[in-house]
């Protein structure tokens, strides 16, 4: 049986278990559209492996035609992930669809996700097409995708503001053309739960061939309702939820995977549905995504925030001590909070180091493992206890060093003394050639950044500088995020070190290196 003739994995799930909710993760695609959240192909693969470990059903790896780098990343994920379906986004045009199919050629289970806008405002002003033309193009795109891949998803972009009669018409045609997943995105986060649920309910009731497809939802968080809208849609009959780790995504973000999954698990009594997610790996995935993207998780974030299972009130503490369920609706262990109890140190060996990385969803071999272990030993000499967060940061730094870099820190000397102007002296490796510079600044970090710019001359504007202690204690590694903007393009750079100034320099250089990578096309650009 050819790839095209195979029955999609989603269709098999839907047929065998009508109460199963398919989890579609788009951290690597929509999550990456957060300003500054760019990821390398290797970083995408690390996150994809963490998602596979979570038992995510579908991983949207990227937008293959957006850039050569995006194509390579989709291909890398498709070639390495076996248990999850790997998906690529494609506009409703042949070139996009062919490029997606090419990137997914090595996938054990692949999906092409094609879309076209269906709201009056998008059809008139963005597409400049009549409704009949939009339907025709959608059908042509689905048929094209279906000729190349067994599993095709069709999305009605801006469905939340689309007319219900037109949605019924175009979805029926898309299903007839071969789409087996139909996505109803709230692209601009405009929906309200009861209204969104009613839309899903009407579509399922009014579309004659609705039983041939899984209906999916993709909600944005502009009104803070992405999770609520997604769950309301599930109650109404949707059986796929598109979401991201930590709610990462464009503008205010997407529905958070961890919140969707734990709501379904915690309220099975009411929702009467389930997922296959292995929830004890949620926290590790959250920390991995946060570390790679440089987007910290707010302390009061549900499920994965530092305070999610903390109880300050004496009354609450007393209740929890007497019986956990008095104030906790789920256990901390069920989402992985118990997983970070193993503390490593300078006497830990290579086997323990490797084993711990594997438990965190990080697979390193050969030179990568050797380099990471060497860094681990260096860090162990600086700090007594090394936690999971340290290991995540350490691996990120190691893999970043092995990637092609335009700028690299060779040495740094900073003088900061009360009553004198701080001064930084550094040596940068620029494409292998060493260049030195020095500069004064209002503080040691400011002086360091000015010295870097004396060499780089990037012309970028510093928009954000953030420092977070990775773990407790004064010997903790500092994790620095630097956001640079140039010509409307925004990048986030990350660096970690027990020395905050060194971490800052690493983060700034990381951002400059990301600036060197060509910008990619946005999936919602003018036209189709």
Residues 201, 9 contacting (CB under 8 angstroms): no
Residue 444 sits in a domain whose CATH number is 3.30.160.270
- List Cβ neighbours of 229 (8 Å cut-off, separation of 6 or more): 186, 191, 192, 193, 196, 217, 219, 255
How high is the pLDDT of residue 357? Answer: 82
Number of domains in the chain: 3
CB atoms < 10 A from the CB of 480, how many?
Answer: 26
Of the candidates 68, 64, 138, the one whose C-alpha atom is nearest the C-alpha of residue 102 is 64
Residues 192, 225 contacting (CB under 8 angstroms): yes
How high is the pLDDT of residue 20? Answer: 97
CB atoms < 10 A from the CB of 346, how many?
Answer: 14
pTM: 0.83
Same domain membership, residue 111 and residue 230: yes
Same domain membership, residue 374 and residue 275: no
498: its two tokens? 């027990």
Same domain membership, residue 247 and residue 210: yes
How high is the pLDDT of residue 316? Answer: 40
- Domain membership flag for residue 323: no
Residue 196 sits in a domain whose CATH number is 3.20.20.70
How high is the pLDDT of residue 430? Answer: 93
How high is the pLDDT of residue 402? Answer: 55
64: containing domain: 9-293
Of the candidates 226, 340, 234, the one whose C-alpha atom is nearest the C-alpha of residue 288 is 340
- Domain membership flag for residue 316: no
- List Cβ neighbours of 35 (8 Å cut-off, separation of 6 or more): 490
How high is the pLDDT of residue 115? Answer: 97
Sign of the torsion formed by the C-alpha atoms of 437, 440, 446 and 450: negative
55: its two tokens? 């038992």
Of the candidates 302, 289, 251, the one whose C-alpha atom is nearest the C-alpha of residue 48 is 289
Same domain membership, residue 264 and residue 244: yes
Same domain membership, residue 427 and residue 366: no
- Domain membership flag for residue 527: no
How high is the pLDDT of residue 506? Answer: 92
CB atoms < 10 A from the CB of 483, how many?
Answer: 20
- Domain membership flag for residue 144: yes
How high is the pLDDT of residue 4? Answer: 59
Beta sheet of 423-430, edge-to-edge order = 407-415, 423-430, 433-440
Please list the rounded mean pLDDT of every run of 10 residues in the chain (528 residues): 61 83 97 83 91 97 94 97 98 97 98 96 90 96 98 94 95 98 94 97 98 97 98 98 96 96 96 96 90 85 84 44 55 72 70 81 82 86 75 72 77 94 95 94 96 95 87 77 87 86 94 79 55
- Domain membership flag for residue 473: yes
- Domain membership flag for residue 1: no
How high is the pLDDT of residue 292? Answer: 84
């Amino acid at each position: 049986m050819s790839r095209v003739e195979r029955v999609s994995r989603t269709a098999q799930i839907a047929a065998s278990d009508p109460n199963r909710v398919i989890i579609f993760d788009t951290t690597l695609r929509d999550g990456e559209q957060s300003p500054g959240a760019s990821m390398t192909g290797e970083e995408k693969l690390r996150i994809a492996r963490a998602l596979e470990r979570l038992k995510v059903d579908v991983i949207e790896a990227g937008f293959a035609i957006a850039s050569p780098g995006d194509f390579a990343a989709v291909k890398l994920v498709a070639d390495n992930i076996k248990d999850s379906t790997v998906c690529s986004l494609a506009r409703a045009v042949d070139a996009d669809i062919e490029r997606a199919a090419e990137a997914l050629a090595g996938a054990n289970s692949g999906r092409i996700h094609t879309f076209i806008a269906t709201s009056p405002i998008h059809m008139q002003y963005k597409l400049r097409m009549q409704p009949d033309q939009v339907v025709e193009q959608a059908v042509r795109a689905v048929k094209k995708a279906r000729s190349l891949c067994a599993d095709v998803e069709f999305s009605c972009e801006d469905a939340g503001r689309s007319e219900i009669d037109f949605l019924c018409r175009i979805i029926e045609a898309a299903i007839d053309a071969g789409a087996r997943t139909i996505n109803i995105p709230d692209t601009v986060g405009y929906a309200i739960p009861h209204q969104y649920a009613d839309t899903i309910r009407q579509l399922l009731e009014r579309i004659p061939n609705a039983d041939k497809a899984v209906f999916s939802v993709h909600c944005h968080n502009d009104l803070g309702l992405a999770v609520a809208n997604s769950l309301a849609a599930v109650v109404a009959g949707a059986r796929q939820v598109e979401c991201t780790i930590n709610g990462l995504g464009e503008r205010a973000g997407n529905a958070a995977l961890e919140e969707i999954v734990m709501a379904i698990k915690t309220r099975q009594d009411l929702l009467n549905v389930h997922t296959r997610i292995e929830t004890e790996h949620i926290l590790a995935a959250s920390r991995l995504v946060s570390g790679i993207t440089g987007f910290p998780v707010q302390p009061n974030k549900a499920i994965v925030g530092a305070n999610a299972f903390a109880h300050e009130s004496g009354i609450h503490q007393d209740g929890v001590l007497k019986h956990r369920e008095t104030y906790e609706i789920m256990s901390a262990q069920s989402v992985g909070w118990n997983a970070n109890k193993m503390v490593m140190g300078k006497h830990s060996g290579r086997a323990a180091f490797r084993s711990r990385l594997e438990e965190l969803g990080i697979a390193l071999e050969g030179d990568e493992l050797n380099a990471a272990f060497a860094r681990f030993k260096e860090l162990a000499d600086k700090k007594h206890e090394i936690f999971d967060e340290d290991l995540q940061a350490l691996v990120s730094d190691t893999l970043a060093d092995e990637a092609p870099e335009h700028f690299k820190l060779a040495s740094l000397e900073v003088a900061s003394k009360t009553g004198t102007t701080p001064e930084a002296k550094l040596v940068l490796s620029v494409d292998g050639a060493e260049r030195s510079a020095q500069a004064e600044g209002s503080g040691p970090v400011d002086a360091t950044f000015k010295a870097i710019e004396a060499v780089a001359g990037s012309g970028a504007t510093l928009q954000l500088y953030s420092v977070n202690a990775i773990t407790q204690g004064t010997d903790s590694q500092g994790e620095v995020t630097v956001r640079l903007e140039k010509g409307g393009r925004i990048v986030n750079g990350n660096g970690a070190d027990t020395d905050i100034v060194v971490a800052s320099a690493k983060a700034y250089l990381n951002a400059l290196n990301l600036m060197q990578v060509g910008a990619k096309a946005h999936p919602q650009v003018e036209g189709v």
